[in-house]
Amino acid sequence: MDRFSLDGQIAMVTGAASGLGKAAAEVLAEAGATVVLADIDESGLAAVAETISAAGGRAEPLTLDVSDRPAIRQATEDVAARYGRLDIVIASAGITAGPSYRTEAGQIGAIADSAWDKVVGINLSGVFATVQGAAGPMKNQGSGRIVVIASVAGLKSDPMVGYAYAATKAALVNLVRQAAMELAPHGVLINAVAPGPFRTNIAGGRLQNPDVEAAFSGMVPLGRIAEPDEIKGLLLLLSSPASSFMTGTTIPIDGGMSAR
């Protein structure tokens, strides 16, 4: 079990105030890491930090908008300088892209530039800046783990999501491949996970609507959507010494959706 220990390591998680980012922060803290929690939701961050502290973990909230690329790069540098190292970064911050093409508002001709740009700014450019910021200190120290939250919608067409969401998540898959080639000689490993439907607050928590849940569940061979805690094992694997020969890959965690 020492292969999964993160004792003494310093981690940073974006989108940590809720959903999969919260799950990531919790499992890293449970495994012994000190976790910097980054999110735009200040009250949500405080709640997550309190939960982790109450369980005996170490967490530091950091209010941050990942669409502000200079700010996210500076934040990673500051964390590395303050703690003397940066071992793990999980890029989880992301937003939905609005309705799918099944609705008139989600069809390609109806998508406003402002809506497209907002999703790209957070889901792609924000993640790029997070990876960019983490790469510097990790290359200098000769080690590190970066995990990007992509989506099963980035691996295949998905009639339930909007164009910008699908496009940005697909781009993350190749961003991870590209970065892996550069970072591997420096001992820095980067991988992505591709979740299927999880019960989170994305899209205003629409997966908690029974009709929407039934629609998504019908697409999943396991016949249900997942709880955030179900991603913890995979994120711990990719953040820990147990994944020492894994880089440049994207691993679905989707109840079998991508197998269809």
d(CA 219, CA 217): 5
pLDDT bucket at 240, cuts 50 / 70 / 90:
very high
DSSP for 156-175, please give it.
S--TTS-HHHHHHHHHHHHH
Task: Please state at what angle helix 19-30 crosses helix 42-54, rounded to 10 degrees.
Answer: 30
pLDDT, tens digit, 9 for 90 and up, residues 68-111: 999 999 999 999 999 999 999 999 999 987 888 888 888 999 99
pLDDT, tens digit, 9 for 90 and up, residues 201-211: 765 566 677 88
pLDDT in the model for residue 203: 56
pLDDT in the model for residue 98: 80
pLDDT in the model for residue 206: 67
CB-count exposure of residue 63 (10 Å: 0-12, 13-18, 19+): middle
Instruction: State the chain's mean pLDDT as an integer.
Output: 94
- Find the range with the poorest average confidence among 10-19, 152-161, 190-199: 152-161
CB-count exposure of residue 112 (10 Å: 0-12, 13-18, 19+): exposed
pLDDT in the model for residue 212: 81
pLDDT in the model for residue 205: 62
pLDDT, tens digit, 9 for 90 and up, residues 42-73: 999 999 999 999 999 999 999 999 999 999 99
pLDDT, tens digit, 9 for 90 and up, residues 124-160: 999 999 999 999 999 999 999 999 999 999 999 888 8
pLDDT in the model for residue 34: 98
Whether residue 85 contacts residue 137, with contact meaning beta carbons closer than 8 Å, is answered with yes
Hey, what domains does the chain have and what are their CATH numbers? 2-253 (3.40.50.720)
pLDDT bucket at 215, cuts 50 / 70 / 90:
confident
pLDDT bucket at 17, cuts 50 / 70 / 90:
very high
101 part of the active site: no
d(CA 144, CA 146): 7
Tell me the average pLDDT across 243-249.
Answer: 98
pLDDT in the model for residue 159: 83
Q: Which of 83, 101, 163, 165 is catalytic?
A: 165
Q: What whole-number percentage of the chain has pLDDT above 70?
A: 97
Whole-prediction pTM: 0.95
